[in-house]
Structure 1
């Protein structure tokens, strides 16, 4: 068996507060329900003599949920492990990140000692000093009367200011397993105060993001706490936050990756850090930047599901005028599109909403970071700023300086591929189907593809079955960037979204058809671009020509194609099931078919 790391020494060395490695034995593991679909895990870790409770960090917990590889008797090498000491309750715990399993069946000693029983003894022997949070030099100077300065006073040696508030904990380690914790963090975002009123009453709330060197977490205050803290907390300043409650993060309302969020109430204590404490070790902002060219093939998380936010760095090349959009519920929103580019020669549109859209005034050529954008794939890829997102002008980043230099020297005159503007380019990519990735339809059905939280794409070779000839098109708004359904008001066609009335409207396909192969069949939806590729005619040509419609639909029966399907989970009458959309189609190329079969035969 591998040599185990001594827990006694681990908690008596100052380096324990750093992220380090360790080898430990699991003597027990329990699952605790976190929400309806997610569990957390509490591990009992031992070195053969002592034991402590431990918990898995988010990424490690996610890996364990998928692999279920840990059990009693596992000997693990933890690549990332932190000590957690809760002084007020004399508790020890450990936060474990990535790990490797060394052995699955190590014998566990039954006569183990809880390390917390040795708390007082351990702290006396600890190398970790405990002081008040005050500079020792200043403390001694204030405690003694001032003395006259000698003619040649030797410089007093610098003495270390030791941060000793051991209730402070890193944001990435926050979980419901700790009590009496505190964080020192910068407010990286603060929302406006929002009010609501309904049958159950009225109230107010605001949100903030707290940031330290390890991560970012969302905080929310309601009603009286909202009034108490809304003016106190200011973006960019550093605060010590304690006596607040942790709860499971509601990912519908948060763009952050942390599993928990902080609820600020009337008992919460928030103190502003001033002087040297204001800036020391607390970052201004944290970015997880991605290149624009990676967005071309990145899968999109549906808007009704959490996740999918990205941070991007780019140079502004175009700023559109603000306009208004009306939702189906009749609510009006302000919107503005901004086009950015980077040195991957890709351009993409970023949508701003409401006040940020109206207030936006940055000129073309400005380098910006768009933090907290949601990726969309309607008529090409585009980005949309989330309520917790923000635009940072000329960020103090090496990558920003490099991008600005590239744009001034080369980018101003470069040609860019805009992945937002061209529905045709997006459709071309979907129609380029790799025959080696095709699967039979029974795999799509039997393996419940599309029942996960994100959209899934499947390619297969099959045939067109029946195409329904009822309601196969709709009247669409003639505004190019709208194309929503319009209402015939007699004197024209009115769009409720863009609030415009046009003399004429466009006809766009909404086909429903059956696709079959040798193993199974499915019904799919098919929209305008794919419908035109399949039928060779636009919807205007078929709308008032039932004879041509019937002929085309009948001729397509049992024609072979390569299909690309998008499968997404939807709910119908309280029952969840997969919904299929045909997003790509291509003719069978028999030369490629022969090459593919030859490749398969060569592998036998």
Structure 2
């Protein structure tokens, strides 16, 4: 068994705040502790270390817990503390070990160390750990709190007795045969010239020092990280029991590849939103670490930083460019097919088609812009990528111009969200990033493959029944199948795509008078009626308006080779069919303008791809199936031919 050389007075000096000491100490007790974290989180460990004379409890940082789990660090192990912090918590001094080196895996307990008393605790109450010379308990961990006191009886002198139920409390009389290890004689400890005995270093009082993101833990005091902003979210507004508020987040990446999200609320949004720019490097300090919610945070850190009033975000130069601009972990398209719904991943491919931007209405009544593109890669698969919001007019417009000019760019999607509706597709979220022709090895490989034959290579879409001219993944049905398959009779509506011709329009009531009042960011749109004053009255808003709005309520008859049926088209789809707003068409009719009939006739007898919401509704005692047009696009012969060829290929492959 190797001899050990512990640092004399190492424990008191460490507690006094000497962070440059790097003492050699021995583990005299170790146990796991419960932590608040997501299910499946690894346990944390508390160890008691000794310098041969004094002991103190310490906490292991999360990145060191594997040493305890594997048994490499256990009772009797001698280690050197190479990096640690001393925090003040409720009047007590707590040492957090950030890094250490195992010097001797096994060794008997050295000396007879006593616990260093906390402020206000008398030396008479200090607890003694008695020397144990029996064989060490390999890989064992104590199950209860350490109790190193001695027990006395009323009629006998003080003797040392083992405490029941806790192996760490056992004290035995040294045997003559077992070797006793004592600390090697060393000169008394003297601090380095820059050492000052200033007492406990309290949280947010110690000078901040740059540490890697991977080493952040909630037991640290004041910390600082140097990292590049890779993504910045928009300001989101919310309302809860405490009132209205606003929030935004940004993502950071440091030189070691560590990632973490930083979140600001309310007044801090005003303070930091304009100051933070994507691509710049900042030093962030004095934040509150909380467990990251993995349902919304895809980064590789278990923590998230919430900035506080005393937090700082300081711009700093990155002269040697040591921090990368972005960190990717690409998933090939064929592997996306086996990914879970709502999974967040990175994907890269060549853009082969780009569709125009369209506007849809979300469930909350808000309008949203969307644009779909197609990516293909060397795996022989292609996937639909849906852009939302600003991505449509920013990167989307640039991609459309490039494809229309015959240039097929490489696109890298950072943090795309998987959707498994009728196959697999990828959509953007607030923290997504789109990089066109990035300077990456994967992009150069794709470029070479595509230009050297990949352009003409056959691919299969993992977005089932996908047609580039369609607004999203399709479940193709005929008019007859809507009835024969009993669609719309379940608890939830069915969504299908029908290729059909518009054969008739009801013109007597193609629109209705709507409330123009704005409620927050959206229009009321409820039906209004003329009041006695001549104004338009909205029962919902309980207000009168001199002018009203007009919104489509089109009843159209559609037909394919299997039959005919009726469908209803509201505002957005009405504009897609007729090419003008309901107000414009109403004015054409009121003024006897010939454009009224021309507008109605131009949508008849054309083939459309109609995205239908099929749902059974009750009218009095009558139940009937209602078809609502959610999307209407004229059939693109080229895209439809490709769709039919893909269908034939899949059919042949099934035999």
TM tier relative to shorter chain: 0.5 to 0.7
Distance in 2 separating the partners of 1:236 and 1:116: 50
1:53 corresponds in structure 2 to 58
Structure-2 change in CA distance of 1:400 and 1:115 (3 Å): farther
Q: Which residue of 2 aligns with 1:204?
A: 246
Residue deviations 1:316-357, cap 9 Å, x none? 111111223323332322111121122222211111111112
C-alpha contact 2:556 2:569 (8 A) present in aligned 1: no
TM-score (norm 1): 0.54
SS of residue in 2 equivalent to 1:289:
coil
Find 2:443's aligned residue among 400, 404, 411. 400
Please list the CA deviations of residues 510-559 of structure 1 after superposition, one character each: whole Å capped at 9, or x if unmatched.
9xxxxxxxxxxxxxxxxxxxxxxxxxxxxxxxx9xxxxxxxxxxxxxxxx
Change (3 A) 1:167 1:349: same
Q: Does 1:231 align with 2:274?
A: yes
CA distance in 1, matches of 2:94, 2:613: 68
Cα distance, 1:54 vs structure 2: 4.2
After superposition, the C-alpha distances for 1:566-593 in whole angstroms (9 at most, x for unaligned) are xxxxxxxxxxxxxxxxxxxxxxxxxxxx
Describe the SS at the equivalent of 2:497. Answer: coil
Paired position in structure 1 for 2:370:
335
Change (3 A) 1:499 1:344: same
Aligned residue for 2:630?
A: none
Partner of residue 97 from structure 2, selected from 83, 88, 94: 94
Aligned 8 A contact 2:378 2:446 in 1? yes
Q: Does 1:281 align with 2:286?
A: no
Give the equivalent residue in structure 2 for 1:459.
none
How many residue pairs are counted as aligned between the two chains? 403
Residue of structure 1 in register with 2:628 after alignment: none
Residue 187 and residue 507 in structure 1: after superposition, are their counterparts in 2 closer, same or farther (change >3 A)?
closer
**Native 8 Å contact 1:171 1:217 kept in 2:** yes
Q: Which residue of 2 aligns with 1:243?
A: 286
What whole-Å deviation, never above 9, does each CA across 1:400-459 have from its counterpart, x for those lacking one? 2222122221212211121113489xxxxxxxxxxxxxxxxxxxxxxxxxxxxxxxxxxx
With over 3 angstroms needed to count, the CA separation of the structure-2 counterparts of 1:222 and 1:408, relative to structure 1, is same
Alignment check: 8 A CA contact 1:373 1:383 kept: yes
Aligned 8 A contact 2:354 2:372 in 1: yes
CA positional deviation for 1:283: 2.0
What residue is the counterpart of 2:645 in the other structure? Answer: none
Whole-Å separation in 2 of the counterparts to 1:114 and 1:366: 67
Residue 561 of structure 2 is aligned to residue 493 of structure 1: no
> Structure 2 stretches of 5 or more lacking a match?
119-187, 195-205, 468-485, 500-552, 558-565, 578-607, 617-624, 626-655
**What is the aligned partner in structure 2 of residue 124 from structure 1?**
192
* Selected match of 2:32 from 29, 44, 49: 29
Distance 1:41 1:249 in 2: 17
CA distance in 2, matches of 1:109, 1:489: 90
- 2:227 match: 185
- Give the structure 1 partner of residue 153 of structure 2: none
Residues 1:316 and 2:351 aligned together: yes
* 8 A Cα contact 1:86 1:167, kept in partner: no
Q: For residues 445 and 208 of structure 2, what CA distance do their matches in structure 1 show?
A: 40
8 Å Cα contact 1:182-1:243 kept in structure 2: yes
- Once residues 503 and 405 of structure 1 are traced to their aligned partners in structure 2, the CA distance between those partners, rounded to angstroms, is 36
Show the counterpart of 1:349: 384
Distance 2:81 2:454 in 1: 45
Measure how far apart 1:280 and its partner are. 4.4
Distance 1:507 1:356, change over 3 A: closer
What residue in structure 2 maps to residue 601 of structure 1? none
Q: Deviations over 1:482-521 (max 9, x none)?
A: xxxxx997973347898569999979899xxxxxxxxxxx
Q: Structure 1 residues 335, 506: CA separation in 2 closer, same or farther (over 3 Å shift)?
A: closer
Residue 270 of structure 1 aligns with which residue? 313
Contact 1:91 1:116 in 2 (8 A): no
Q: Distance in 1 between matches of 2:449 and 2:299?
A: 31
Match of 1:294 among 306, 330, 335: 335
**SS of structure 1 residue aligned to 2:432:** strand
Query: Does the residue aligned with 1:415 lie in a helix, a strand or coil?
Result: coil
Contact 1:312/1:369 (8 A) holds in 2 = yes
Pair 1:334–1:122, CA change in 2 (3 A): farther
Structure 2 counterpart of 1:255, from 292, 298, 302: 298
* 8 A contact 1:52–1:92 mirrored in 2: yes
| Secondary structure at the counterpart of residue 310 of structure 2 | coil
The CA distance in 2 between the partners of 1:92 and 1:379, in whole Å, is: 54
User: Aligned pair in 2 of structure 1 residues 379, 74: CA closer, same or farther (>3 Å)?
Assistant: farther
Measured in 1, the distance between the counterparts of 2:71 and 2:83 equals: 22
CA 1:247–1:338: 2 relative to 1, 3 Å: same
Post-superposition offset of 1:47: 8.6
Contact 2:495 2:612 in 1 (8 A): yes
TM-score (structure 2 length as normaliser): 0.50
Deviation for aligned residue 1:313? 1.8
What displacement does 1:181 show?
Answer: 0.7
How many angstroms does 1:479 deviate by? 3.4
| Cα deviation code 1:186-241 (max 9, x no counterpart) | 11111222333566422222211111023111111111111111111111111111
Contact in 2 for aligned 1:86/1:166 (Cα 8 Å): no
RMSD between aligned alpha carbons?
5.3
**How many Å separate the matches in 2 of 1:507 and 1:356?**
27
SS at match of 1:265: strand
3-state DSSP of counterpart to 1:402: helix
Cα distance change on mapping 1:109 and 1:31 into 2, 3 Å = farther
Give yes or no for contact 2:370–2:392 (8 Å, CA) kept in 1.
yes
- The secondary structure found in structure 2 opposite 1:244 is strand
Provide the rounded CA distance (Å) in 2 between the counterparts of 1:187 and 1:176.
22
2:476 match: none
Any residues of structure 2 matched to 1:36-75 within 5 Å, and which? 41-44=44-47, 53-55=58-60, 57=62, 73=74
